[in-house]
Amino acid sequence: MAIKVLVVDDSLFMRTLISDMLNSDPDIKVIDTAKDGIEAIKKIPRIRPDCITLDLAMPGRDGLTTLKHIIKECPTPVVILSAYSKKDADITMKCLKTGAVGFVLKPSGELSLDIKYVKGQLLEEVKAASRVKMRKVKSFIAKKPRKRRRKQIGINKIVAIGASTGGPQTIELVLSSLPIDFSVPVIVIQHMPTISFTQSLAEHLNHNCDLKVKVIENNDTFQSASVYLIPSGFRMKLTPLDTQDVISSLSREEPNMLTPSIDLAMTTLAPIYKENTVGIILSGMGEDGVEGMKAIKESGGKTIVQDESSMIFGMPKAVIEAGYADEVLPAPEIGKAMVDLIADN
């Protein structure tokens, strides 16, 4: 049976383009459209879509306000359509925290004549979102992890977390469960379309977690109780120093829906930190991270993957099936497992 989609956008032209793209896939059927949030809210209980594409910038009731109502009154998987600006990136992060499953960028802003260039991503996001159980989404909104007792742990160790669709919500849940003196640096590799979205995620996490969160820059040395996000469109290289620290350098790569690369980052970290590496794979589509977790295992490190509580159980499942998962845990238990593994390692 085809996935039933409601398309919400204030532009008739954009509603038509988006509907045509979605209807071109035999597994998807646009059953209705809405010109604003008010019309969408009226239609959802009647037409019961499997997924909703929701524009952010609409007159009257905007995308975020509409999303809050949908999640509360008629829970349905939502894919946000956002522009590229820093302001839109910030609002998109709020939407993910509120309950949106994923997002797609309009290539040229609100009226994107070239939206056809993101057709493949839009189709994938809608298909993935339609399979998400809303009880999983609501559990990430409601759950505030209990703070764990603090432990002093070694400093010459590292944690690498990889995630894609459904990742920002899960990363916040995991990081906010860590003690403020978690004396190991954490590297986050979250697929993002542009560096502005990586920066918005870092700001959001910095506001909601006890640990210091920042986007990696050239010549950074990793500090304890700190979280470092690799920016979209870049790959990270590390150079060991005599002090047993490492210094980072970034090189540009073509931005796409799978950058920064989890495999590249983990295979860079593993030979340097060896048995002192903990690799974690959270929610996401595809198989990015399998080779990275393999490298960590082969270097003597430990690995954790999120269980089927993942919004999108693609990347975690791929690691499990490849045989590179030491532990398979729900998101609220991953923080404690990180502390225990680092302390015992």
Catalytic positions: 164, 191, 288
d(Cα 95, Cα 76) in Å, to the nearest integer? 14
d(Cα 264, Cα 126) in Å, to the nearest integer? 27
CB atoms within 10 A of CB 242: 5
As a residue count, the chain comes to: 345
Instruction: Outline where DSSP puts E strands in 211-340.
Output: 212-215, 226-229, 234-240, 246-252, 277-281, 302-306, 327-329
237 and 251 Cβ atoms separated by less than 8 Å: yes
> Can you say whether residue 85 is alpha, beta or left, with left for phi > 0 and alpha for psi between -120 and 50 degrees?
beta
User: 3-state class of 200 per DSSP?
Assistant: helix
The CA–CA distances, whole Å, from 31 to 20, 106, 302 equal: 12, 22, 47
Beta bridge partner(s), residue 32: 6
Instruction: Return the closest-CA partner of residue 275 out of 247, 296, 244.
Output: 296
CB atoms within 10 A of CB 34: 24
Instruction: Return the closest-CA partner of residue 105 out of 200, 213, 3, 203.
Output: 200
User: 3-state class of 306 per DSSP?
Assistant: strand
Please name the residues in contact with 242: beta carbons below 8 A apart, sequence gap of 6 or more.
none
Token pair 């999983």 is found at 136
User: 3-state class of 37 per DSSP?
Assistant: helix
